[in-house]
Amino acid sequence: HDEEIDSVADAALCRLLSLLLFKEFSIDKLDSKERLNCLPEEILRNCQLFELIYGCSKEKITASFERVGPDLLRLLCHIIMYEIERYTPPLDPELSNPELSHPHDSKSRGGHDSGAQQDTCLQSATRILFLYARVQSLTEAMAQHKKLLSLCITLIKYPIDVVPFEAQHNVLFILANMACCRSCV
């Protein structure tokens, strides 16, 4: 997958993810009936594409982080907050963002917006962070991100039946690697 990073696919995916999240978060509550139902799935697919291209070498992940890392970290934090807030009240009020209220609350979900898709999106977002955390030189920047550490701690506070085990496993790996970064010890 080094070729995808060399062809700057990561930058294109980051721009697309930014646009999709902008669309998702900027829909006025009055217009929620006209909302495109495919947006959450497009966000999920975009995250899954990041997972695939980050199957590359650590050197290419580092190059990608230098190109899109800070922006992608911010977007992934928004996705994780969004996914947690969709179905559960936040444990940490500082991480709660009223602007991220989801147009499909638990009463209006119906059968089309399943918890399985939510879990998969949460797993995918934490998996991307997991792939970044595998690279020792990136953990310092991750540890210095203003919301990532708090968000990771919040994720592991949730019971297993609320947050999927894989997402919590990813977060524990991320936290362990950030704790071992040179500037944090």
Q: Check pLDDT > 60 for residue 28.
A: no
**pLDDT by residue (tens digit) across 96-150?**
554 444 433 333 333 334 455 556 889 999 999 999 999 999 999 999 998 999 9
**pLDDT by residue (tens digit) across 54-89?**
999 999 999 999 999 999 999 999 999 888 776 565
- Please state, as a whole number, how many other Cβ atoms lie within 10 Å of the Cβ of residue 83: 28
- Please state, as a whole number, how many other Cβ atoms lie within 10 Å of the Cβ of residue 33: 6
Instruction: Residue 17: name the closest of 36, 44, 56, 54 by CA.
Output: 44
pLDDT band at 91 (very low <50, low <70, confident <90, very high): low
Indicate the angle between helix axes 39-53 and 58-87, nearest 10 degrees: 150
